[in-house]
Structure 1
Amino acid sequence: MTLLIEQLINGLQLGTMLFLMASGLTLVFGVMGLINLAHGSFYMVGAYATASVTAATGSFFIGLAAGLAAAAAVGALVELIVIRRLYHRPHLDQVLATFALILIFSEGTRWLFGSSPLWLNPPALLSGSVTLPGGLRYPIYRLVLIAVGVAVAVGMYFLITRTRLGMRIRAGESDREMIGALGVNIARLYTLVFAMGAALAGLAGALVGALQSVQVGMGEPVLILAFVVIVIGGIGSIKGALYGAILVGVVDTLGRVFLPLFFRQFMSPSEAAGVGSAIAAMLIYILMAVILAFKPKGLFAANE
């Protein structure tokens, strides 16, 4: 039971970080209709900027602010220089162009920082662990990640539903020509939305960078999971991104831990580890296929 509770919390932590990635990705697609494969590169930019500034200043929180600002600034520049030319192009052109951006970001990062990974430690204030009900000891930093993800979800809800900017974002998603005719600067709105999406990805990379190594290409595996999340949740739906991210995080975490233990009941440990790990790696895709069989537009389709 203790192991189950621990892995449920781990799955929730993974889910909240996936939400930061998926919410920015689905926001960009919902408002702009843009398929952005380079979204994972902003995740990497946030992690590298945070690790570098933290190493230079000795302050994790200054590094975190720098990572957030760097991802937003790079996102705005990419939108102005590249993305703006793709809005009215076919989706295949968008895929090819943003895939090229992945290669440019990866090689540029390797040129600036080298191939060796960087290491980022959580701040001393958030190190250590706390005792949860039931006697479970759990790292403080991982609980903080969950709290940050929940806070961002609440903040995005109020931004989208209760502010003038949110009204423009929702209107741009529904009828961009009409809000342009009403005097809203569409180009400025698109740049802002794209920078917001990049900042969310950078925040996720900066926070997760303290749990793993910061290295070139770290954003691509997370990007794949983020695409699974928005397909499950419903493309263009922030609510769907939240529910889909938590569902994917919990299912993926529990599968990787408990499937090898399950197969060990009637297999040798080595065979159980191999079979369990293989099925666990496919589990979220099986989940996606099952959900799409009953809900072809995802759990919370944006236009429903």
Structure 2
Amino acid sequence: MTTLSLLEQLMNGIGFGLVLFLMAAGLTIVFGVMDTMNLAHGTLFMLGAYFAATAYRVLESFPLALLCAVILTMIAGALLEMSLIRRLYKRSHMNQVVATFGVILICNDVVKYFWGPTPLFAATPPSLSGPVTLFGAFEYPAFRLLIIAVGIALAIALYFMMAHTRLGMLVRAGASNREMTQLMGIRVRRVFTSIAILGAALAGIGGAMMGPITSVQTGMGEAVLIPALVIIVIGGIGSIRGAFIAALLVGIVDTAGRAFIPALLSKLASPVIAADVGPALASVLMYLLMIGVLCFKPAGLFPARG
């Protein structure tokens, strides 16, 4: 275990955490303001990956493919909100979970119909396929650096939107006291639609950036949805700052656990036991992190609602 390997896994954890942040940020805003549990948010992440991979094959330009993916995912998010989600605002969380889980199943079958059941290969742009030398002999993949840069830039943009724009003011007001916001004459339906479109855009960017690293396939949104929900709980429902910090913590803990725990166990036990127990133990680290945080901060690190 060298310093370079530790630094590489730290960078991988930050990159993975920032992708999770793009997923969790939109989800925590939707849940914090609308008080709606939208499990179909993971489907938007998957659609963003499929849209980007398909557009890149046609346009052969990653920026244009990313733009197309974001626009199409925003349209899908708006249609989902106007056709189904707004009918669930006054329903119980159990009804919301069941209805949006049904959307996941339907969308997975729709994706299989149009793109087929086999995973779709998302090519890395040639200009970003090589490594970049950062510190002396330390080289890191250029595309993963782009993910980190995009994640940080979007986190900063979200912070300024939440702190210095009217939409951000309405989001913060709705997260703190939804009833009072409605009584003050705010057009809640328009705000909710804007928030749904914003969350869809973030999920689409996350899926498009994750596609070239992992295979683009049905169900990839659900795999990211679970860590995103853990991030929301750790950071505090409705808090962008909490989602950002929690995403970095979860990304680093999960990546480091999967990289180092099997190797450490192999020194203490047989390789067979290390191969079986190591990945299982690494997969529960983020849940142990969530339990540890909730023991001291039951409402999360930075809850939006007092």
Q: Work out the number of aligned pairs and report it.
A: 304
The residue that corresponds to 2:199 in the other structure is: 197
Indicate yes or no: 2:269 matched with 1:272: no
The residue that corresponds to 1:75 in the other structure is: 77
The residue that corresponds to 2:231 in the other structure is: 229
Give, in whole Å, the separation in 2 of the partners of 1:234 and 1:152. Answer: 19
The residue that corresponds to 1:87 in the other structure is: 89
The residue that corresponds to 1:3 in the other structure is: 5
The residue that corresponds to 2:219 in the other structure is: 217
Which among 102, 110, 123 is matched to residue 121 of structure 1?
Answer: 123
Structure 1 contact 176–186 (Cα < 8 Å) conserved: no
Give, in whole Å, the separation in 1 of the partners of 2:274 and 2:183. Answer: 62
Structure 1 contact 27–236 (Cα < 8 Å) conserved: yes
Q: Which moved more, 1:116-125 or 1:37-46?
A: 116-125
Q: How does 1:165-184 map to 2 (within 5 A)?
A: 165-184=167-186
Q: How does 1:129-144 map to 2 (within 5 A)?
A: 129-144=131-146
Q: Deviations over 1:226-278 (max 9, x none)?
A: 00111111111111100100000000011111111111112222321222111
Amino acid at match of 1:15: G
In structure 1, list runs of 5 or more residues that go unmatched.
Answer: none
Give, in whole Å, the separation in 2 of the partners of 1:146 and 1:84. Answer: 34
Indicate yes or no: 2:265 matched with 1:263: yes
Amino acid at match of 1:161: A
SS of 1:284's equivalent in the other structure is helix
Query: 1:38 offset after TM fit, Å?
Result: 0.6
SS of 1:138's equivalent in the other structure is strand
SS of 1:130's equivalent in the other structure is strand
Amino acid at match of 2:39: L
Give, in whole Å, the separation in 1 of the partners of 2:300 and 2:60. Answer: 44
Q: Which moved more, 1:116-125 or 1:93-102?
A: 116-125
Amino acid at match of 1:141: F
Q: Deviations over 1:18-71 (max 9, x none)?
A: 000000000101110010111100001101111111111222221111111111
Structure 1 contact 22–229 (Cα < 8 Å) conserved: yes
Q: Which moved more, 1:182-191 or 1:151-160?
A: 182-191
Give, in whole Å, the separation in 1 of the partners of 2:71 and 2:57. Answer: 17
Query: 1:134 offset after TM fit, Å?
Result: 4.0
Give, in whole Å, the separation in 2 of the partners of 1:176 and 1:282. Answer: 35
Q: Deviations over 1:94-142 (max 9, x none)?
A: 1111111101110111111111111111222222111121411110110
Q: Which runs of 4+ in 1 moved over 6 A?
A: none
Give, in whole Å, the separation in 1 of the partners of 2:271 and 2:4. Answer: 22
Which among 84, 105, 108 is matched to residue 106 of structure 1?
Answer: 108
Amino acid at match of 2:34: M
Query: 1:169 offset after TM fit, Å?
Result: 1.6
The residue that corresponds to 1:61 in the other structure is: 63
Structure 2 contact 42–224 (Cα < 8 Å) conserved: yes
SS of 1:255's equivalent in the other structure is helix
Tell me how large the CA RMSD over aligned residues is: 1.2
SS of 1:78's equivalent in the other structure is helix
Structure 2 contact 236–303 (Cα < 8 Å) conserved: yes
Query: 1:175 offset after TM fit, Å?
Result: 3.3
Q: TM-score, normalised by structure 1?
A: 0.97
Indicate yes or no: 2:251 matched with 1:249: yes
SS of 1:137's equivalent in the other structure is strand
Query: 1:177 offset after TM fit, Å?
Result: 4.0
Structure 2 contact 38–96 (Cα < 8 Å) conserved: yes
Q: TM-score, normalised by structure 2?
A: 0.96
The residue that corresponds to 1:206 in the other structure is: 208
Query: 1:75 offset after TM fit, Å?
Result: 0.5
Q: Which moved more, 1:281-290 or 1:14-23?
A: 281-290
Amino acid at match of 2:233: V
Query: 1:199 offset after TM fit, Å?
Result: 1.0
In structure 2, list runs of 5 or more residues that go unmatched.
Answer: none
Q: How does 1:39-58 map to 2 (within 5 A)?
A: 39-58=41-60
Give, in whole Å, the separation in 2 of the partners of 1:301 and 1:189. Answer: 21
